[in-house]
Structure 1
């Protein structure tokens, strides 16, 4: 599709168009999380939403583009929260605990668990699912945390073992708990979140913190 056919950005839409776009994303969100990626189709969404195919395609040119908008919607408040956690002045340990608490709480919420299940289940058949999720969500978290870790490295508080690798190590510790919840081994409500957060941050600081 050529550049002239590109949709306007969300900010360029009229209030009525923004409402319509939001309704499409909300319906797609329910379908993707309840039924899965493969079982969700643009034609199926039309039956739910009504309207014409041309109208739907004027907002989203493909299922992949619509899925990206859903992931953006699902993770919007979380991404804002972690940026607040990392940008709020505070001690290194306190900041990491706040970040990890937000991360764990998000992974324990029903739509967080449902999104993770969807990505894990369907990425092998539909690589775009994993690629979109990483770009819109997981990769964003890693990059935000890595930027904060790099600041602490530059300030002489942490050893430099590669900020992105260090960020992936810390988030990876928490994902092990998520997997146990996905498998039904542990309650899905993240009951032990607080204890895990402090334990994992402690591990991280013992590995990388420099003496004052």
Structure 2
């Protein structure tokens, strides 16, 4: 059960994420965020002592909330194709959500100056794709995936899922048709299984 403090922190993260998305990280000040939240600067600084700390928390929060649903749906007891299709669809829809795209852009900015990107990667993509690696290794042992390097296979799957739409979305194209996104995900899974699926699996 959330405490009032937890709810306040969650609200700050939501408002900060929306503000960073709208104004851009560099153009956003703590005053901008405080004005949208209400109250005093001391309140937000009691949770996040600087904009950099707040940004890292926003990125970690966004990565966890947006991506965990996809990665948590992996079930080794269900047929491999069904699980991968469900994963691919959920993952791609979440990845292309405006908040997630904004987080990715922010994580990629000023990587030479801040550790935003590193924290974002460790909190979301790295953690999630390690789960995929272990899932694929399980199926390799079960004989439904051909012998392979689990991490390399996971990265191939990631590339296939992101290949058609992510770059377009990152450059500003609005991609919101869920059915079309699902079709892209399904194509990616089919290609992956042709490369890695064991015959008859």
Distance in 1 separating the partners of 2:51 and 2:149: 36
Distance in 2 separating the partners of 1:142 and 1:126: 26
The alignment status of 1:200 with 2:197, answered yes or no, reads no
Paired residues in the alignment total: 198
Residues 75 and 137, structure 1, Cα contact 8 Å, conserved in 2: yes
Distance in 2 separating the partners of 1:37 and 1:85: 32
Residue matched to 2:145: 158
What is the SS of the residue equivalent to 1:37? coil
Distance in 2 separating the partners of 1:162 and 1:123: 32
Q: CA deviation at 1:67?
A: 2.0
Unmatched tracts of structure 2, length 5 or more: none
Deviates further, 108-117 or 25-34:
108-117
Residues 68 and 136, structure 1, Cα contact 8 Å, conserved in 2: no
Aligned match of 2:24 in 16, 33, 36?
A: 36
Aligned match of 2:125 in 128, 135, 138?
A: 138
The alignment status of 1:110 with 2:98, answered yes or no, reads yes
Quick one: structure 1 residues 109 and 172, their matched pair in 2 at CA, closer, same or farther if it must change by over 3 Å? same
What whole-Å deviation, never above 9, does each CA across 1:28-68 have from its counterpart, x for those lacking one?
Answer: 11222112222233344334445454433331233333223
What is the SS of the residue equivalent to 1:192? helix
Distance in 2 separating the partners of 1:87 and 1:69: 29
Residues 160 and 192, structure 2, Cα contact 8 Å, conserved in 1: no
What is the SS of the residue equivalent to 2:115? helix
Distance in 2 separating the partners of 1:208 and 1:73: 33
TM-score normalised to structure 2 length: 0.82
Residue matched to 2:80: 92
Distance in 1 separating the partners of 2:184 and 2:79: 19
Taking only aligned residues, the RMSD between alpha carbons, in angstroms, comes to 2.6
Deviates further, 128-137 or 73-82:
73-82
Q: CA deviation at 1:19?
A: 2.8
Distance in 2 separating the partners of 1:135 and 1:41: 25
Distance in 2 separating the partners of 1:123 and 1:145: 29
Aligned match of 1:24 in 1, 12, 24?
A: 12
What is the SS of the residue equivalent to 2:176? coil
What whole-Å deviation, never above 9, does each CA across 1:90-111 have from its counterpart, x for those lacking one?
Answer: 1111111111101111123222
